C-alpha cells in the first residue's frame, strides 16, 4: 500500500515538473521575458545604489573637511528680521463709497460716523468746513471737504479718486 501511495506521489511530482506541451510554450516565453526584464531592472538598481554610495561618501568627506576647518569657515548667523511696524488703518474718508453716502442735510456727527474725524476744521461764524487731506504713497495728496451750515451739510467736495 505504501509503495502504491509513494508511486502516486512521485508520479504527481513528475507531472508537475515536466515541461509544458503544445500551446503552453508562449507563457514560458512570457515568463522568460519578464525574468529578463526583472534582471535588467535589478542590474540598473544595483548601479544606481553604487553611484549614490559614491556620492554620499564624497559629501561626508566634504562635511568632515569643513568641520575640521573650524569656525573661520562657519556660516554667520542670519540676524533676525526687524519687526515691521503695525499697519495703520486706512482712513474711512479714502473710500469713495463713503463719500457717496454724504448728502445735504446730514449733521456733523453723521458725517464723522461715515468719513471719520476730519484732519482739520475751519470755523467761521455761521458755518464750518471739515477738511479731509492726506498723502497717499504712489498717488499723491488727496483732499476733500464738507461744508456745514448750522450743523447741517450744505456743500460736498469729495477727493478726486
User: Which residues, other chains included, contact 104 with Cβ-Cβ below 8 Å and sequence gap of 6+?
Assistant: 152, 153, 154, 155, 156
Whether the predicted model's global pTM rises above the 0.75 cut: no
Distance (Å, rounded) from C-alpha 159 to C-alpha 111? 15
Reference 146, options 92, 79, 80; nearest CA is 92
Over residues 88-138, the pLDDT tens digits come to: 788 899 889 999 999 999 999 999 999 999 999 999 888 999 999 988 777
Q: In what order do the strands lie in the sheet with 152-157?
A: 120-124, 127-136, 140-149, 152-157
Domain 92-157, CATH class in plain words: alpha beta
Q: Is the pLDDT of residue 2 over 60?
A: no
- What is the reported pLDDT for 156? 95
Asked if 159 and 153 count as a contact pair (C-beta separation under 8 A), the reply is no
Amino acid at each position: 500500500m505504501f509503495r502504491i501511495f509513494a508511486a502516486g506521489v512521485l508520479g504527481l511530482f513528475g507531472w508537475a515538473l515536466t515541461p509544458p506541451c503544445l500551446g503552453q510554450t508562449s507563457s514560458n516565453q512570457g515568463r522568460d521575458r519578464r525574468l529578463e526584464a526583472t534582471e535588467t531592472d535589478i542590474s540598473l538598481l544595483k548601479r544606481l545604489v553604487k553611484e549614490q554610495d559614491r556620492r554620499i561618501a564624497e559629501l561626508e568627506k566634504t562635511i568632515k573637511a569643513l568641520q575640521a576647518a573650524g569656525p573661520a569657515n562657519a556660516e554667520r548667523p542670519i540676524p533676525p528680521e526687524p519687526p515691521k511696524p503695525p499697519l495703520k488703518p486706512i482712513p474711512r474718508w479714502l473710500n469713495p463709497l463713503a463719500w457717496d453716502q454724504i448728502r445735504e442735510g446730514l449733521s456733523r456727527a453723521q458725517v464723522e460716523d461715515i468719513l471719520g474725524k476730519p484732519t482739520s476744521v475751519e470755523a467761521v461764524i455761521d458755518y464750518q468746513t471739515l477738511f479731509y487731506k492726506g498723502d497717499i504713497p504712489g498717488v499723491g495728496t488727496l483732499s476733500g471737504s464738507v461744508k456745514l451750515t448750522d450743523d447741517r451739510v450744505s456743500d460736498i467736495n469729495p477727493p478726486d479718486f
